[in-house]
Structure 1
């Protein structure tokens, strides 16, 4: 496997990250159009987004394990092909449920791209440049997030909603070519026992994650008995999964890896951080529109500050990690995020839009620094035959944090406002909800700082 940094390797991995990120953000803007196109309810159309995220969350660890077994390059190629073909089917889908099914397969392709790019960085990039590579991937993810709504809006307005999926086809074909042409093939032989697939564990984990995701994303904003039953099934499922992994001869995830404090802490912290970042996306628009009185255009402009700052700070963050080391930069990034989260609880209520922007400008670079450092810290010390699955688990912790942020922190905001019907809430109620929600967010990051500062680097 090559260790010399190769710009074409980074171009291919960056394009993989961009495509997966764009797949989420570009679809959100199409939901109102899809309700008209298919004469469907908003709750039904939401599954165009949910199916994509659900597919990624449910199978990302299992898919990553296949990368360890069959080779990272081969699986990345498969992911790009599946994503591209699914994009074509999305673009020609005759019915809403056909579109949702195609989005599920598109999410499958995205899961492969997301899970294995981090693992490939560790395989193909020299150790001195891993932080910079992680920062670049973070930048590409931010570009996808920022570009999606704008590009999607232009395409829908000009050519119709189908083009937001068809535009992925040339990107996919280019990515397939780059993977085939420039990504090196793993030449090391894999031990026989490392080729075994734990099908029971794979199924248990998939069902468990599906139950948790559905518990957090369904119910039309209310946590009813169905959500409770799904959550209970998820708890039972994770217990059963852990038991099976301890007993099976060739587990999907080696539980001994979690005895390493560095890995366990990184996963917990990653989930906390993702919860807080999703909170800004869920709570922010309501506060900006209902408390500060901004129209939709200005809300979008203010919300775009975060992705823009991410784009500007992603690569520099990676270079800082290479210069000073991942361990100390994880904690540094979290400290900056703590300041940003508490700033969101104070500055907007004091200084309005300017205060909100200042808080975002503090929070976002901290997030980019944390991401580059945390990803580097985990992947640098992952055992060779577990790099794919460790990358998958790392991405899984992020996705679970995003889901939790959207559901739990959204519910906390509604509770502190005093009503789930924000249109009838008073400005002071919205402001109170914003303040309390981000105080809790700040406390979460403070806990993450404590966890980070009390762990020590070990080989995963």
Structure 2
């Protein structure tokens, strides 16, 4: 439920907008409020689990998540919904971070790989299956159902957790390290918010004071956090865990996975819905080709990692992802067809299925059992930062490629007939303004908008469709190449940093 609620809302946004008559910027906070609070709370809830016991804090997170889901499902307006989504994010962070720690502690070494494989498979499946579940619920029961469905599932999880999760004693004594919690929360908050600002305001440059200021705040609080953790007796995070190259390598791989594959889901969904004409539900069905392999292969990857090592399994998985995304970049052509994506989706499916379990295994195996709570929090933060970074940087790649190709395409449009010849420059300028204003994600909608109707009388109108689609193709190819670069960085980091000799790697 925790990861599902990051992606499930995407397909419900049009219905939410109709229900509340919200503007686009307000609507985006239905997504961003959850993501922002979720990311900033991952480290604090891990510390609370270490201090007060993981089972209790995990169950409390479930309760908070259910209350937030109920409040979201009953929201009378968009302000209420955004606030409820933020509250829901607190519970989502506790569920995700502490569930990984609980699974790690619940199994001996010989079974832990399989257990983490199952946990990681569910995580990867939840992210990629969100649009399918969301689309089916919205189409049949309305947008409120995507939140209310969490109530029965959550109540079952609370009962099962209370009965079957072993009672856990605190693994850390002493104070809660309030300064560390404050600095880490502000650091993650300002980093994610800066990325959100860039995502929601395409006109902002990276040097805009509203973005630079947030990144500067993140840097200052990061330095303050490091200084604090070095001097307090019971630090929120033992900085010594970063002495393990395997722990560092697995976190870089998690960041690359989030930025490359999970961040890329957003733009693959836009391609299929806005340019290929698939409905939300049909798009979810197509994305099953990426997610379904986690059900088959995910639980087994922990066993495979024991044979060939986490380092090589992560590297192979990320290389498969590179192959899949480069296949899409090579085959994607106007008019877009499913055959352009099929091979790439298969390879991305294998990558998604194989990569999550060994990342979790390598990270958890690189720290002592007393530190798995904080380690799981750090790993989830890196994954979530990767998703946020990927959505922004890939969006910039798509937009830049779209605008460059659009300008060159418009300049080559056929000349207008004599009746319009004196107005050629003005008409093309107005077309360019309209299409740039709509942006690369408008897709087919731009041709059915009220503003576009005035151009239908022009003989060049028929050429515009191909120009716009070719422009988006150019943007998607750039984004695919960026994904390949990000995944390549993950491959290099995995090969160089991750070690498979556990005894030498575990940081006490």
Greater alpha carbon shift after TM alignment, 62-71 vs 376-385: 376-385
User: 1:282 touches 1:410 (CA, 8 Å); kept in 2?
Assistant: no
Shift of 1:427: 3.3
Whether 1:248 aligns to 2:232 is yes
Aligned partner of 2:191 among 212, 221, 227: 212
Whether 1:198 aligns to 2:163 is no
Aligned to 1:415: 400
User: 2:263 touches 2:388 (CA, 8 Å); kept in 1?
Assistant: no
After TM superposition, list the pairs within 5 Å mapping 1:349-360 onto structure 2: 349=333, 352-360=337-345
Aligned to 2:352: 367
Summarize the Cα distance change of 1:50–1:196 in structure 2 as closer, same or farther, 3 Å threshold.
same
CA-to-partner distance for each residue in 1:121-169, whole Å, 9 max, x for gaps? 1100122222222222233234434554344344444444333222211
Aligned to 1:114: 96
Whether 1:454 aligns to 2:496 is yes
Aligned to 1:264: 248
Stretches of structure 2 lacking an aligned partner (at least 5 in a row): 405-435, 444-463, 500-504
Aligned to 1:47: 29
Distance across 1 between alignment mates of 2:244 and 2:23: 47
Distance across 2 between alignment mates of 1:290 and 1:55: 29
Aligned partner of 1:184 among 166, 170, 177: 166
Aligned partner of 2:70 among 74, 84, 88: 88
Paired positions, count: 438
User: 1:334 touches 1:445 (CA, 8 Å); kept in 2?
Assistant: yes
Aligned to 1:62: 44
Shift of 1:323: 4.1
User: 2:250 touches 2:363 (CA, 8 Å); kept in 1?
Assistant: yes
Shift of 1:107: 0.9
Aligned to 1:385: 370
Aligned to 1:167: 149
Summarize the Cα distance change of 1:173–1:295 in structure 2 as closer, same or farther, 3 Å threshold.
closer
Shift of 1:356: 1.4
Shift of 1:322: 4.0
Greater alpha carbon shift after TM alignment, 386-395 vs 415-424: 415-424
Shift of 1:305: 2.2
Stretches of structure 1 lacking an aligned partner (at least 5 in a row): 1-18
After TM superposition, list the pairs within 5 Å mapping 1:98-113 onto structure 2: 98-113=80-95
Distance across 1 between alignment mates of 2:130 and 2:157: 18
User: 2:124 touches 2:356 (CA, 8 Å); kept in 1?
Assistant: no
TM-score, structure 1 normalization: 0.88
Distance across 2 between alignment mates of 1:444 and 1:86: 34
User: 1:142 touches 1:308 (CA, 8 Å); kept in 2?
Assistant: no
- Secondary structure in structure 2 of the residue aligned to 1:426: helix
Distance across 2 between alignment mates of 1:142 and 1:217: 23
User: 1:134 touches 1:372 (CA, 8 Å); kept in 2?
Assistant: yes
Distance across 2 between alignment mates of 1:330 and 1:349: 31
Distance across 1 between alignment mates of 2:238 and 2:67: 33
Aligned to 2:418: none
- Secondary structure in structure 2 of the residue aligned to 1:442: helix
- Secondary structure in structure 2 of the residue aligned to 1:222: coil
Aligned to 2:264: 280
Distance across 2 between alignment mates of 1:442 and 1:159: 38
Greater alpha carbon shift after TM alignment, 345-354 vs 21-30: 345-354
Whether 1:432 aligns to 2:413 is no
Shift of 1:453: 1.4
